[in-house]
Amino acid sequence: MKVSVVQFPGTNCEYDTEYAFKKLGAQVEIIWHKETKFSEDTDLVVIAGGFSYGDYLRSGAIARFSPVMQAVQAHAEKGGKVLGICNGFQVLTEAGLLPGALKRNEGLHFLSKHHHLKVATNANMFLEKLSVNDVVNIPIAHHDGNYFIDEEKKQALYDNDQVLLHYCDENGNISNPNGSVDAIAGVCNKAKNVFGLMPHPERALESILGSDDGIKMLEGFFA
């Protein structure tokens, strides 16, 4: 399993991501945003969290024009696996690789805490090691995690089984921290090879740090 982790100016989770996938047995390389290609044997491209370009224009809006994104696009178009975490999710929506958009949290505050998520579907490689309605405890850390999509496109997400996760409480009841439409915490593309979520599964690999629920999420990519 070969994982390439994209690094932009302002990225701050690339080393957490590298650690997580190495812990699970993958070979990992960090790719600077000015690169125009990945190793040919790359299985999964991860766009890590942080504040690419300081989020000075809009989260992910500048990063989506970096040279490396042409390689990400090409990898996705040939069926390669892509995962965007937090700012990476924002970048993928800005690049048109995932539907919807991320805007300022409803409460206008930066959120940094563990939060529960309910699995909406496991009919994809990312969540196939979990069951529908499983509840996991995963850290969130974002200011612009309010997922928005219009009604017509939202219905298409449900019709195509593209809604991955909902924010919830420990009992699985909806608990929406940021105002996201339908408390959506993550989605995938129609082909189910590009995934994005605001929570950080790479920070949930060791119970001593609060949760190891991220293991089953990331292990899905090794199948």
11/54 Cα distance (integer angstroms): 9
Cβ–Cβ under 8 Å, residues 154 and 181 = yes
Under DSSP, is residue 163 helix (H, G, I), strand (E, B) or coil?
Answer: strand
170 is catalytic: no
126 Cβ partners below 8 Å, 6+ apart?
83, 164, 188, 195, 217, 220, 221
Per annotation, catalytic residue among 14, 18, 94, 202: 202
Spell out the alpha helix ranges (H) of 27-182: 68-77, 87-94, 151-159
Spell out the alpha helix ranges (H) of the chain: 14-23, 68-77, 87-94, 151-159, 214-219
Per annotation, catalytic residue among 18, 33, 75, 86: 86
Structure tokens that stand for 130 in this block:
């979990």
200 is catalytic: yes
CB-based burial label for 69 (10 Å; 0-12, 13-18, 19+): buried
Per annotation, catalytic residue among 33, 115, 116, 200: 200
Q: What is the DSSP letter of 161?
A: T
Cβ–Cβ under 8 Å, residues 167 and 173 = no
Provide the annotated active-site residues: 86, 200, 202
